[in-house]
A and B are shown apart, each in its own frame.
Chain A
Amino acid sequence: MKINNDNKKDQISGNSQISKFSNNTILMLNFLSSHYELISTLSIISLVSIITIFLSLPFYLPLLATALYVFLIKSLSTLSKSEKLPSILAPAYRIEVLVRCNKCEYKEIRKFERGFYVFKQLGTCPSCNEGKIYIHSIYGIPLHPSEEEKEEEKI
């Protein structure tokens, strides 16, 4: 059986300290970027609270400042969404083609080429030299799984 899968995962999870450090940094940056709104709101609350205490300002000031901040950020983010436009045109799936032999256990994953279809015969089996290899399956793996798909994976 021959499977031409990428071994990137194994390469990334190498035992060197450098790769561990970079993995942690990437994880931290991912966390910060995904929780950007929450972190920035908490920072604003803290900042305004400190100023309020030092200047003996009214107690509702942090709340008001936070409300104004969220209101402005939410309104402006609507307009900034136009930056996401190119993502629609980018490829959304990685297409894999599973090739099998009709006589032996030979399996192979190939890249999709135009003209491929399920049950297309591709020649003689390189393993047993007897059977025919054919396309058993063609499937798409989403490059950016939706929230629903991520949830399903967890289940």
Chain B
Amino acid sequence: MLPLALLQFGTEGTSDWVNWIFQFLIIAFIMFTALYGQKFQLWVWINQIKVALLQLKQMDVQGKKIVTHMIKQINKEIDPLPKIEELQEFFLIEPVDKDPFGVLKRLEHVLDVRKKRYEVDISDLVPDADPETKANIENTIEASLALHYIYRIVRHFFLLGKRTNNIFFIAQIQMQLPQIMQIAKAYFHALRAFADGLPIGDSIGPLTVTRFEQKYKEKSDIFETIDDVADEIYASHIMFNKRHVLIVRAIGPGGRVGKPGEAIYKLVEKYKGKVKRIITIDAGLKLEGERTGDIVVGVGAAIGDPGPEKYKIEYIATERKIPLDAIVIKESVVEAVTPMRKKIDEASSKAIEKLEYLINRFTEEGDYIIVAGIGNSSGIGLGLDGDVKNED
């Protein structure tokens, strides 16, 4: 009985008025999309940016809290928040490049002034802290500065677009939103990593050269540290397969990058005519679809500084006709600034194999080779006093 009763609903009279209603709805829908489609799209995009902006603000505020907490743990007497806010707004004006002569020297000078200024401000905040903690605080503040900058830029374009009702301002932010959020989240996790003094993906350069040094230190006839090579740089001299290897990296375990370019320059000058090869090891950006932790070998200076350090390496290598080799460990932007992944850590043994091959294949006994581990030394100590068991 029930199916028969249901079938009676489908009469001509019923479908007529329902038909009219749906035709009206379709016309209304088309009219709405034609007349207000763009406005509706703008409303959707604005809401998406609003949500992202809330997240960015939360990260910015939380970042400040982490830095404040870090400083308060060491120095309970001061309120560091005003100083942190001041440092977050700190800026650097890049030198004029319309006349490019000496632009890198001028840039290096400005960067040095900025670094010294930061050091003084951090010393004011935590005068009794050890240098490693100060270095970690500096890195944490740098990460919070990056977060604050991203938040300010997104907020600027959002408000500008909303105020002028200009879809293009909104569209350019909305379309880049996934990348912006990815970078912001990476900096937020980097901030935590620096606060805890953890190794990050970028620390693979210093980690690889230190593991290489540990592997051959005890077997080596010579082991000596070389003092005062450059600012925040550790250098040592060991023997590997009857070759003199000069290790260069930033001092640690506090987060520093140092001046590896200057160190290489000075070492080449010190061992006049003896240095036959310069090998740089650094983290390099992988392309989408590539594996994290893959090792690639190339030529040139593998260093991602603003310019001055890379220039010094290239300059001295060109002047003395020293070949430049580069070993790169692939990782993404996010992996480079967040806690080191297991795959990246494991890649260091493969990088050491490549390094040994390059030294054995392209140099001769008695040659001097500079091996520089480029990158942030956060969480990477300078090695053990005793020997380390060869796990390979």
Interface residues of A (CB under 8 A from B): 53-58, 61, 64, 68, 75, 78-79, 81-82, 85, 88-89, 92-93, 95-96, 100-104, 112, 114-121, 131-132, 134, 137-142, 146, 148, 152, 155
State whether A75 touches B10 (Cβ < 8 A). no
22 A-B pairs (CB sep. < 8 Å):
A54-B7, A57-B19, A58-B22, A78-B48, A81-B48, A89-B58, A92-B338, A95-B339, A100-B389, A102-B384, A116-B197, A117-B252, A117-B379, A117-B380, A118-B199, A119-B381, A119-B384, A139-B344, A140-B198, A140-B338, A140-B339, A141-B341
Contacts of A101 in B (CB 8 A): 389
State whether B51 touches A88 (Cβ < 8 A). no
State whether B188 touches A57 (Cβ < 8 A). no
Contacts of B197 in A (CB 8 A): 114-117
State whether B384 touches A132 (Cβ < 8 A). yes
Chain B 328-352 interface residues, beta-carbon cutoff 8 Å to A: 332, 334, 338-342, 344-345
Contact among A56, A102, A104 with B15 in the assembled complex (CB-CB below 8 Å): A56
> Interface SS of chain B: helix, strand, loop or mixed?
helix
Q: Taking the nearest CB of chain B, how far is it from the CB of A90, in angstroms?
A: 11
Q: Taking the nearest CB of chain B, how far is it from the CB of A48, in angstroms?
A: 11
Contacts of A116 in B (CB 8 A): 197, 379
Is B96 in the interface zone, CB < 8 Å from A?
Answer: no
Given contacts A54-B7, A140-B193, 12 further A-B contacts (CB under 8 A): A55-B14, A56-B15, A57-B15, A64-B25, A64-B29, A95-B339, A102-B384, A116-B197, A116-B379, A117-B199, A139-B339, A142-B341
> Interface SS of chain A: helix, strand, loop or mixed?
mixed
State whether A119 touches B44 (Cβ < 8 A). no
Bound form: Cα–Cα A144–B349 in Å: 27
Contact among A112, A131, A152 with B196 in the assembled complex (CB-CB below 8 Å): A112
State whether B47 touches A138 (Cβ < 8 A). no
Is B26 in the interface zone, CB < 8 Å from A?
Answer: yes
Per the CB 8 Å criterion, the residue count for chain B at the interface is 61
Bound form: Cα–Cα A141–B29 in Å: 49
Count CB-based A-B contacts (< 8 Å).
137
Is B222 in the interface zone, CB < 8 Å from A?
Answer: no
Q: Taking the nearest CB of chain B, how far is it from the CB of A149, in angstroms?
A: 8
State whether B339 touches A93 (Cβ < 8 A). yes
The residue in A56, A64, A75 that gathers the most chain B C-beta atoms within 10 A of its C-beta is A56
Q: Taking the nearest CB of chain B, how far is it from the CB of A147, in angstroms?
A: 11
Q: Considering only CB atoms, which chain B residue lies closest to A141 in the complex?
A: B342
Contact among B189, B332, B389 with A102 in the assembled complex (CB-CB below 8 Å): B389
Q: Taking the nearest CB of chain A, how far is it from the CB of B350, in angstroms?
A: 14
The residue in A57, A93, A103, A119 that gathers the most chain B C-beta atoms within 10 A of its C-beta is A119
Contacts of A88 in B (CB 8 A): 55, 58-59, 185, 188
Is B370 in the interface zone, CB < 8 Å from A?
Answer: no
Contacts of A134 in B (CB 8 A): 384, 388
Bound form: Cα–Cα A121–B214 in Å: 14
State whether A78 touches B51 (Cβ < 8 A). yes
Contacts of B101 in A (CB 8 A): none
- Encode contact with A along B1-19: 1 for CB under 8 Å, 0 otherwise: 0000011011110110011
Contacts of B253 in A (CB 8 A): 117-120
Is B291 in the interface zone, CB < 8 Å from A?
Answer: yes
Q: Taking the nearest CB of chain A, how far is it from the CB of B259, in angstroms?
A: 22
State whether A118 touches B380 (Cβ < 8 A). yes
